[in-house]
Structure 1
Amino acid sequence: MNPFDPDMASMIHNEMRKHGIKLVLGYTVEGFKEKDNGVEVLLKDNPSLQADMVVLAIGVTPDTVLAKEAGLELGIKESIVVNDRMETSVPDIYAAGDAVQVKHYVTGNDALISLAGPANKQGRIIADNICGSDSRYLGSQGSSVIKVFDMTAATTGINETNAKKSGLEVDTVILSPMSHAGYYPGGKVMTMKVVFEKETYRLLGAQIIGYEGVDKRIDVLATAIHAGLKATQLKDLDLAYAPPYSSAKDPVNMAGFMIDNIAKGTLKQWHLEDMDKISRDKSVVLLDVRTVGEFNRGHMDGFKNIPVDELRERINEIEKGKPVYLICQSGLRSYIASRILEGNGYETYNFSGGFRFYDAVVNDRALIEKAYACGMDY
């Protein structure tokens, strides 16, 4: 699931495991052999896997032999280089679709993005230009969606991993809103990760995983990226609301409110990758504000539990002068706790995504580490 960051992909992995699929990740496949009316999958430095059938879902490699023989300029993976009119290096020869190299709409870098939507738009641009118009292709931003059993996973723009590889200074917000108003029956939790550029707050990308309303929100975010909106402007979008369809503050609005809080200095975050950097020598306060029952079902090591509803009465249990690192189930209650503590003179940092997100990612990593080529050790 390359379009998704590893932390978000963990939720897709968990959905697949829930339906009985065993995942063996992180191995290099070197080849295949027919064996015992099946297929032997040869792995580098590991025992082979036996299978009845092998499906290679490994992306697209352009088949550009004809273009090469015709002397056209080739780019990434020997894709065909075109300009913004979809014209190749040879005048009056055009190319579109999975075989062409395009500009990424967000980064401006050369990219190979094999999707039906961009291919169809490119075909229209070629037809326009052949017929005498001057149509231009603005680039691809990789908006895509996939159904994994009952789950929907969608992405647009660039993820955090690729943004950092491109040399961008980025931050993210992770939230778990309901697909529609919580008091209306049938709502489903979704997980959203929105990527934006530090300092400028340029909206770079988003990933959403859930069971209802995912495609709607990713399309809004894709439109916002194309329109050049800042991530802070997501809070201002006027989106359709009725309880069966959304909340009065749509999940996209909520992401915008969170980013706006960061921009104003109201919210300071800490992320999963900061776990090993946080001191355990009691120079900081580690505080879990979930209920006692939630805390007892699972928590991070070293965290003290004070439910948010008891925080005002027990605030003297928290030593002043030390940074307070907060966590709750989704990030909402810990944000409320942050506001209470900040109002009483504490310096606070809120965990992005909450324990729900942490638990999904950490459990996925543990299962990946326990996966062997000969099977799964559950």
Structure 2
Amino acid sequence: MKLVIVGGVAGGMSAAARARRLDESAQIIVLDKGKHVSFANCGLPYFIGDEITDPGALLVQTPQSLKAALNLDVRPEHEVVGLDAAAHTVTVKSAQGTHRESYDALILAPGANAVIPPLPGIGSARVRTLRTVDDAVALKDMADGAKDAVVLGAGFIGLEAAEALEKRGLNVTVVELAPQILPPLDAPMANLVQAELERLGISVRVGVGATEVIPGDERDVVVLADGTRIPADLIVISVGVRPATAVFEAAGIACDRGAILTDDHGRTNLPDVWAVGDATAAKDPVTGAVRPVALAGPANRAGRLVADDLFGLEGARPIPTPLGTAIVRAGNLTAAMVGANRRSLEQAGIDFDTIDLHPNQHAGYFPGASQIHLTVHFRANDGTILGAQAVGADGVDKRIDVLATAIRAKMAVGDLIDLDLCYSPPYGNAKDPVNLAGMFGQNVLDSTTALWHPADLDRVTQTSLILDTRSAGEFAGGHVAGALNIPHTQLRDRIDEVTAAAAGRPVRVLCASGMRSYIAHRVLQQAGFDSATLSGGMLALRAHLGDRGDSVIVKG
């Protein structure tokens, strides 16, 4: 067996290592166009920010170490420029020239290339991407002595690069064409992260794109669509990636918008050719949408499974559809997500409910307690969990990992109540945030809780009485105009005031985070009112409003 693998980073190298463990006699050749293989591309921003100081630490393996440990023939700076599936050969270009390499089996793991927007001046020497170790070294060198940086794109890489450059003392501006940063997040969660970036001193511009880069002798200028001109000593492009598949699509590999189509075991439409990683299309297990998922974890795991299938391992498991579990740090906050967000669920026409809650990550009486802002989407008819997001200073990863497991297991939101999770005051609560999400969601499913959401505010203010159940002091500090304030502890004795103020209208209740308004809602519901409680309370409302908050929330 002669196995040729195109691409030597996540999926490709995982497949190569597994292939060797399955067959000691196979000839395994790994071809990669870059200088380095098996490098920690997810660690590049942390090298720029000096949290990782040695660039050598980013090289997880080298051709020499892979030869010694696994007897792999790893060839960096060997670019595959052609594929002849009928002849079972690939055409390879290197410093030594161009040659053909035959194969018995071929795994395509070419990854993805950074998208470069076609802007005037984008070829300036001060414009960089962040995809390789050399990119990171160059950016770090450019940052020394620089004053101003512009990051185009506010996805994961863009925010990590922005934070790294801010740590180096640069004035950083992030520009995002979409109406929010981190498009995979729901807007209220993204607003929380944006506020943290701004607290760090990073300027964030959303809903506007760059139209031009004007190169200069000493610095460049980035021009935005609204006419804003931003001086820049360096510019980072992070507007997305595109599967690096043009060569293979031209050779007959079936693709969808450039992403290679495969079956459940990574097989392509051509015989003896498999594909894995960022260059492949994946079907969203929640919405059914087909798109590439450029994440290291799924690529590494899929590489192993492709090798199992290729070598005929009995009972080779299919590649699971990736849930898109992801996490990013922004200052003192962490944002994480899994599954579908609100926008994708609406586009797919799925009938779903959403809950928002803000529990502490561990016991409130233990020092260091802080809130986790948690959103969970679930199917309206049966409670199947469809997606979840969290933002907070601590404990975010643990909860999203648990919820990712729950989604993979096709659990309903009510099943979260029964999860037996770690508890000790420094680590969690007797009712973990995940358990609380289950209780909240089950209340919605069995109609003991009726919800209204921050997005409903404009309609609610026109049609309903808003009852604010916080204390008088909290109310004075900021409330929705026209709301009636009755603290929840006084409600039972003041029901007549609610009746008079509502005058037959529905009552929509809110508090700070949702707990007190839920209690009030249950009192009102059992007293015969058309009542609903604001999911996530004022915390969720402020996050939803973002910059609009000051015009909607009044004081006094």
- Give yes or no for TM over 0.5: yes
Partner of 1:362: 545
Deviations 1:298-343 (A, max 9, x none): 0011101111122222222111643211010000010011122223
Larger displacement relative to structure 2 (130-139 or 250-259)? 130-139
Which segments of 5 or more consecutive residues in structure 2 lack a partner in the other structure? 1-181, 551-556
Q: CA 1:63–1:18 in 2, change beyond 3 Å: closer, same or farther?
A: same
Q: CA 1:66–1:365 in 2, change beyond 3 Å: closer, same or farther?
A: farther
Secondary structure of the residue that 1:99 maps to in structure 2?
coil
Q: Match for 2:185: what amino acid?
A: F
Q: Which residue of 38, 51, 62 maps to 2:232?
A: 51
Q: CA 1:86–1:31 in 2, change beyond 3 Å: closer, same or farther?
A: farther
TM-score, normalised with respect to structure 2 = 0.63
Deviations 1:110-150 (A, max 9, x none): 12110001000111011111211233112111001111111
Identity of aligned residues (%): 39
Partner of 1:211: 393
Partner of 1:194: 376
Q: Which residue of 238, 243, 256 maps to 2:425?
A: 243
Kept in 1, the 8 Å contact 2:417–2:439? The answer is yes
Larger displacement relative to structure 2 (177-186 or 342-351)? 342-351
Kept in 2, the 8 Å contact 1:196–1:203? The answer is yes
Larger displacement relative to structure 2 (98-107 or 312-321)? 312-321
Q: Which residue of 120, 124, 141 maps to 2:300?
A: 120
Partner of 1:266: 448
Deviation at 1:31, TM superposition (A): 3.5
Deviation at 1:246, TM superposition (A): 1.0
| Structure with more of its chain in strand, by fraction | 2
Pair 1:319 & 2:506 matched: no
Secondary structure of the residue that 1:94 maps to in structure 2?
strand
Kept in 2, the 8 Å contact 1:270–1:351? The answer is yes
Separation in 2 of the partners of 1:171 and 1:30? Answer: 39
Deviation at 1:20, TM superposition (A): 0.8
Q: Which residue of 412, 430, 451 maps to 1:230?
A: 412
Q: Which residue of 435, 438, 455 maps to 1:253?
A: 435
Pair 1:97 & 2:269 matched: no
Separation in 2 of the partners of 1:300 and 1:125? Answer: 54
Q: Which residue of 343, 356, 367 maps to 2:526?
A: 343
Deviation at 1:175, TM superposition (A): 0.4
- Give the 4+ runs in structure 1 shifted more than 6 A: none
Separation in 1 of the partners of 2:484 and 2:317? Answer: 61
Secondary structure of the residue that 2:206 maps to in structure 1?
coil
Q: Match for 2:304: what amino acid?
A: R
Answer 1 or 2: higher relative contact order, Cα 8 Å, separation at least 6.
1
Which segments of 5 or more consecutive residues in structure 1 lack a partner in the other structure? 368-378
Kept in 2, the 8 Å contact 1:60–1:98? The answer is no
Deviation at 1:365, TM superposition (A): 4.6
Indicate the structure (1 or 2) with the bigger Cα radius of gyration: 2
Kept in 1, the 8 Å contact 2:455–2:544? The answer is no
Secondary structure of the residue that 1:54 maps to in structure 2?
strand
Q: How do 1:128-207 residues align onto structure 2 when only pairs under 5 Å count? A: 128-133=308-313, 134-207=316-389
Q: Match for 1:65: what amino acid?
A: A
Separation in 2 of the partners of 1:38 and 1:171? Answer: 50
Pair 1:66 & 2:247 matched: yes
Q: Match for 1:121: what amino acid?
A: R
Partner of 1:305: 485
Q: CA 1:365–1:141 in 2, change beyond 3 Å: closer, same or farther?
A: farther
Pair 1:19 & 2:212 matched: no
Partner of 1:111: 291
Kept in 1, the 8 Å contact 2:245–2:260? The answer is yes
